[in-house]
Amino acid sequence: MTIFSVRHVTDYRYMRPVEFGEHRLMFRPRDSFDQTLLSSHLQVDPLPDYVRWIHDVFGNCVALIGFAEASRELRFETTIRLDHTPNVAIDLQINGAALTYPFAYDPEEALDLQWTVHRHYPDPGDEVGKWARQFVRIGQPTETGHLLMTMCYAIREGFTYARRSAHGTQAPVETLQLRRGTCRDFALLMMEAARSLGLAARFVTGYIYVPDRDGSTTLGGGSTHAWCQIYLPGAGWVEFDPTNGIVGNRDLIRVGVARDPKQAIPLWGSYDGGPSDFSDMSVQVNVTTDDRSARLDE
């Protein structure tokens, strides 16, 4: 059991006072057996006209924020504290029929999983599918857990993590060809690779705890993070972080899940003005533990 604290600050600055449209903010973690939200706080400047909470179609908690006044700066500061229990579901009971690949989902589950099994991105030459099938043994049984862990580690070892300023997520074929991308790109590549094998996959957005950000080999810290989940009968939705080669939820703080990355953007909104009115933005994320805080005070 670990107590994590997350402070996330996003600051937009403009050349002149601008008016803002409604913003959607996804920062409140999903309560579950492996993570329990202890507290959360949202501070917005300028003072919002309203803050309204909803659950989206995936059950994620989303804050809708409206503004009545113009401003040259828009700042969101969120803080959360949660109880986190490491869990490697793939080591638990997977249904016997699903221990080896291929397997079929139960018809009742398959009905609800169909859109997470369906491939979402064009792949005319089936490049992603061919890449995924190299992890399936020929002429002998393929252990499902081994297949997915090997795929996850292959992305970690064979691709280069690279931040980029462009918005959005690369198409999986592009990530495969470039062998380079962000955590969102790697998560989507593994999702589409798993889907090409008939497995249900979904996108996860959240945070990662980096024990030592300076000099750490763990990538993706200091900002929001992304990974994926694969549905395995008996084990449920299992976490795979191909950016860091993590299987299970170790150091991962789950905030939102979605069928596609476009549906799980941590913060988005609009302002009334032209591109030249925007000056710059900054993002700061700090993920700490109570134990680490105590060591720093010594």
Per-residue pLDDT reduced to its tens digit, 234-255? 999 999 999 999 999 999 999 9
Q: Does residue 168 come out as left (phi exceeding 0), alpha (psi in the -120 to 50 range) or beta? A: left
- The pLDDT of 215-236, averaged and rounded, is 77
Q: Does position 69 have pLDDT exceeding 80, yes or no?
A: yes
The rounded distance, in Å, linking the Cα atoms of 47 and 120 is 39
pLDDT tens by residue, 262-280:
999 999 999 999 999 999 9
- Grade residue 146 by pLDDT with cuts at 50, 70 and 90: very high
Q: Does position 220 have pLDDT exceeding 70, yes or no?
A: no
Q: Does position 41 have pLDDT exceeding 70, yes or no?
A: yes
**Closest of 235, 23, 278 to residue 144, by C-alpha:** 235
The rounded distance, in Å, linking the Cα atoms of 220 and 204 is 14
Determine contact, residues 71/17, Cβ cutoff 8 Å.
yes
**Closest of 190, 207, 120 to residue 155, by C-alpha:** 190
Q: Does position 168 have pLDDT exceeding 90, yes or no?
A: no
Look at the pTM and tell me if it is higher than 0.85. yes
How many other CB atoms are there within 10 angstroms of residue 154's CB atom?
Answer: 18
Domains and CATH numbers, the chain: 2-84+265-297 (2.60.40.2250), 89-263 (3.10.620.30)
- The pLDDT of 201-227, averaged and rounded, is 76
Residue recorded with tokens 């113009």: 70
Its sign, for the CA torsion 115, 121, 123, 129, is negative
**What is the pLDDT, as a whole number, of residue 164?**
78
Determine contact, residues 65/106, Cβ cutoff 8 Å.
no
Average pLDDT of the chain is: 91
